[in-house]
Amino acid sequence: MIAVNKAAEQAGLKPGIKCSSIGRPEDHRGCLCNRAINSGRTVAVAYEGPLGKAFGYWMPVAGRPEWIIHFSVGRCPCYEELKR
């Protein structure tokens, strides 16, 4: 990771780590990072998160083929906590 937003930082994510180092290896079985890199196009997936449907995205950065913007949106525990 090159950078993290405030919610990710509060969840313990830090720049300089690979997202696949977070949690259990099996949590990353559906990773589509390589597909996004190989195709040069954004790849998205819908999945059932801990609190319902969520969406994951892997977006290549123009001019930086080694960079991918990776994020998820949906009903995640960190979003539920931020609403309180």
- The pTM for the full model equals 0.72
Q: What is the pLDDT of residues 59-80, one digit of tens each?
A: 999 998 888 898 888 765 554 4
Share of the chain above pLDDT 90, in %: 19
The residue among 1 and 47 whose pLDDT is bigger is 47
Among residues 29, 81, 73, 83, the alpha carbon closest in space to that of 53 is found at 73
Determine contact, residues 65/55, Cβ cutoff 8 Å. no
At 58 the pLDDT is 92
How far from 62 is each of 15, 39, 73, 74, 77, CA to CA, in Å? Answer: 20, 12, 22, 26, 31
Q: How confident is the model at residue 82 (pLDDT cuts 50, 70, 90)?
A: very low
Element (H, E) at 65: strand 64-74
Rounded-to-integer distance, Cα 16 and Cα 78, Å: 21
